[in-house]
Amino acid sequence: MGGRKKTLLGMAALMLLTAPLVAPAWAEDGPGTVEIGSLANHYSAVTFDHAMHTGVASSCAECHHHTTGLAPTDPTCARCHEAGAKAGSVACKDCHSDKRFSAEDLAKIGEKPQLYHKGKPGLKGAYHRKCLGCHTTMGGPTGCQDCHTRNDKGDAFFNAGKYAPAPSTSAGHGGGH
């Protein structure tokens, strides 16, 4: 396990080193770093190094599904949006709601379930699936706190840190019921 991980990390590092050489021109169009904090609750905001990731990715669409002015490439989106208006935005939050579970959003989706936006992840799901999915295959960091540190509220939520249960309260190995 350690060996494979190391190899992958090595590959990622190599890609990072070579990235500036192959970085396409559009890389300059994107932001340098992005503060992702609209959902921060149990964790701090993520400081996302956009410039570094544009170097690693082979195209914008790898994360964004499409670039401005082009139709989405994701087959699920393309089913309806291909022939329609070209995408005017590449911001994640413009398609993936940060209020995915609010009454308004649920009602909106419920109105036209035949469009299956029901299956579209909200902003939280979109971030985690994209980031973790790629990090897993590329050998990037996958621990929760590798990207965002947990705050005190988060520690309480997870019964961790200073809220961790005393070790002695754990009775045996959870068996014997």
Partner 1 sequence: MKMFNRRSFLKGGLAGGAAIAAVGTSKQAEAAGSFGGYPDSMGVLVDLTKCVGCRTCEAACNKEQGLPAPDKSFDDPSVFEEKREGGLPRRTTEKAYTVVQKYDVPGREHPLFRKVQCNHCNEPACLTSCFVNAYKKTPEGAVMYDPTVCVGCRTCMVACPFYIPAYSYSSAINPVVKKCIMCYDTRLKFGKPPACVEACPQEVMTFGKRKDLLKLAHQRISEKPDAYVDHVYGETEVGGTAWMYLSDVPFDKIGYDTHLGDQPIISYVKEFLAVVPMVLTIWPALFTGFHLLSNRKDALKNEENKS
Assess contact for 88 and 72: CB atoms under 8 A: no
- If the CB atoms of residues 24 and 125 are measured against partner 1, the closer one turns out to be 125
Assess contact for 43 and 150: CB atoms under 8 A: yes
Q: Which of 22, 108, 118, 141 binds partner 1 (CB under 8 A)?
A: 118
Distant-in-sequence, close-in-space partners of 7: CB < 8 Å, separation ≥ 6: 139
CB of 125 to partner 1, least distance (A): 3
By CB under 8 A, what part of segment 128-157 binds partner 1? 128-129, 132, 136, 142, 144, 157
- If the CB atoms of residues 13 and 106 are measured against partner 1, the closer one turns out to be 106
Task: Verify binding: residue 75, partner 1, rule CB under 8 A.
Answer: yes
Task: Verify binding: residue 173, partner 1, rule CB under 8 A.
Answer: yes
Instruction: Count the site residues for partner 1 by CB under 8 A.
Output: 36
Distances (CA, A) of 144 to 1, 2, 52, 68: 20, 19, 20, 31
- If the CB atoms of residues 2 and 174 are measured against partner 1, the closer one turns out to be 174
Q: Which of 18, 31, 116, 149 binds partner 1 (CB under 8 A)?
A: 116
Distance CA 83, CA 80 (A): 7
Backbone angles phi, psi at 172, to 5 degrees: 60, -140
Distant-in-sequence, close-in-space partners of 45: CB < 8 Å, separation ≥ 6: 35, 36, 37, 148
Binding residues (CB under 8 A) for partner 1: these are 75-76, 100-101, 103, 106, 109-110, 113, 116, 118-119, 121-122, 124-125, 128-129, 132, 136, 142, 144, 157-160, 164-165, 169-171, 173-177
